[in-house]
């Protein structure tokens, strides 16, 4: 009995030790990447903030002050255009930041120098190295999304009417959407030739952004039924609609249960695809 209990105690102690090493190594990778980000924080802010800043400035500050008003706001009724696009711009910031934070570094790490070999030497399983990249990109995506809110408050000519009544839903959508964007970045970075990354942004990322219900709610596509169904295969639609449900609930949006279900589905599918590609590139 004593030998059996000692063996069980030894196994539990070894398991706790392994868990401690795992979390220390995982945290070490996160802190390493965070230190690099702090040294390049200004370029990071410019990268994630320039697109929403310019979009808000042109379409919600300049056009409303022109004689014809904002042509994009036609059909919006009493809701101003800034309020309509605030959740969509947050989703775009999440998507671009998540993809850039994973796909672009991976394209160089899988290059001729094989810098990825240095990273996988840490005492972590390979899947945890990929997970760290996705988690770190999610942190950047959340920062990028939150940066859009003060821009939308101070730039538009007509004040944006945000009403965040469900903070839990907002936090949940932000986390799921940011992890999803990082997983998509993992897919692109581990399966696309580094020389084709720019082409991928042109033929995949930009189209799914414009067809992702960023500049209009999904409910407004009733008159184009085929498009309303087709965009359901676009993950950024659920990012935009989820943030619309949390930030501007007065605007028509999908039911929250459908949004969360789709976000979890796409996260699982893209995460699995990205992990498979990552393991294949590392072990090749």
Cβ atoms of 236 and 95 closer than 8 Å: yes
Q: Is residue 258 exposed (0-12), middle (13-18) or buried (19+ Cβ within 10 Å)? A: middle
| pLDDT confidence band for 117 (50 / 70 / 90) | low
Dist. CA 189–CA 236, nearest whole Å: 18
Cβ atoms of 232 and 255 closer than 8 Å: no
Q: What is the mean pLDDT of residues 145-168?
A: 84
Measured at the alpha carbon of residue 182, what is the angle toward residues 180 and 166, in degrees to the nearest 5? Answer: 45
Q: Which of 191, 265, 241, 212 is nearest to 96 (CA)?
A: 212
Q: What is the mean pLDDT of residues 23-38?
A: 79
| pLDDT confidence band for 13 (50 / 70 / 90) | very low
Least confident of 17-21, 83-87, 124-128: 17-21
Q: Which of 188, 177, 234 is nearest to 208 (CA)?
A: 234
What global pTM score does this model have? 0.84
pLDDT at 71: 53
- Percent helix, percent strand, percent coil in the chain, to nearest 5: 80, 0, 20
Dist. CA 116–CA 1, nearest whole Å: 48
Dist. CA 116–CA 149, nearest whole Å: 36
Is residue 9 over pLDDT 50? no
Cβ atoms of 122 and 23 closer than 8 Å: no
Dist. CA 199–CA 275, nearest whole Å: 22
Q: What is the mean pLDDT of residues 276-281?
A: 86
pLDDT at 145: 92
Distances (CA, A) of 207 to 18, 200, 215: 44, 10, 13
Which residue's entry shows tokens 């990929």? 130
Report domain extents, the chain: 40-283
Dist. CA 220–CA 178, nearest whole Å: 25
pLDDT at 11: 43
pLDDT at 14: 42
Q: Could you count the other beta carbons within 10 Å of the beta carbon of residue 102?
A: 29
Dist. CA 212–CA 63, nearest whole Å: 23
pLDDT at 66: 66
Q: Which of 173, 152, 158, 169 is nearest to 76 (CA)?
A: 158
Q: What percent of the chain has pLDDT over 90?
A: 32
| pLDDT confidence band for 72 (50 / 70 / 90) | low
Q: What is the pLDDT of residues 172-208, one digit of tens each?
A: 999 999 999 999 999 998 888 777 777 787 788 888 8
The HSE-up count of residue 202 (CA atoms within 13 Å, CB side) is 4
Which residue's entry shows tokens 């196994």? 11
Query: For residue 35, what are its two tokens?
Result: 């230190």
Query: For residue 195, what are its two tokens?
Result: 């020389």
Q: Is the dihedral of CA 47, 50, 55, 60 positive or negative?
A: positive
- To the nearest whole number, what is the mean pLDDT of the chain? 81
Cβ atoms of 36 and 132 closer than 8 Å: no
Cβ atoms of 184 and 94 closer than 8 Å: no
């Amino acid at each position: 009995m004593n030998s059996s209990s000692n063996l069980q105690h030894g196994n539990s102690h070894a398991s706790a030790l392994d868990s401690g090493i795992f979390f220390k190594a995982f945290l070490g990778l996160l802190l390493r990447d965070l230190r690099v980000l702090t040294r390049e924080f200004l370029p990071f802010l410019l990268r994630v903030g320039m697109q929403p800043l310019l979009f808000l400035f042109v379409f919600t500050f300049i056009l409303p002050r022109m004689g014809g008003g904002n042509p994009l706001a036609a059909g919006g009724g009493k809701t101003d255009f800034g309020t309509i696009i605030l959740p969509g711009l947050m989703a775009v910031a999440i998507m671009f930041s998540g993809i850039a934070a994973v796909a672009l570094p991976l394209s160089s790490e899988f290059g001729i120098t094989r810098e990825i070999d240095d990273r996988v030497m840490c005492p972590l399983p390979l899947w945890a190295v990929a997970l760290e990249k996705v988690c770190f990109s999610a942190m950047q995506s959340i920062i990028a999304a939150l940066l859009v809110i003060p821009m939308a408050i101070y730039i538009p000519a007509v004040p944006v009417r945000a009403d965040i009544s469900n903070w839990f839903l907002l936090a949940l959508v932000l986390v799921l959407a940011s992890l999803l964007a990082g997983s998509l970045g993992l897919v692109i970075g581990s399966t696309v030739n580094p020389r084709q990354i720019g082409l991928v942004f042109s033929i995949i990322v930009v189209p799914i952004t414009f067809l992702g219900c960023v500049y209009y709610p999904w409910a407004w596509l009733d008159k184009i039924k085929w498009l309303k169904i087709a965009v359901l295969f676009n993950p950024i639609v659920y990012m935009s609609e989820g943030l619309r449900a949390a930030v501007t609930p007065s605007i028509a949006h999908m039911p929250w249960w459908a949004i969360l279900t789709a976000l979890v589905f796409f996260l699982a599918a893209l995460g699995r695809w990205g992990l498979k590609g990552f393991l294949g590139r590392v072990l090749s």
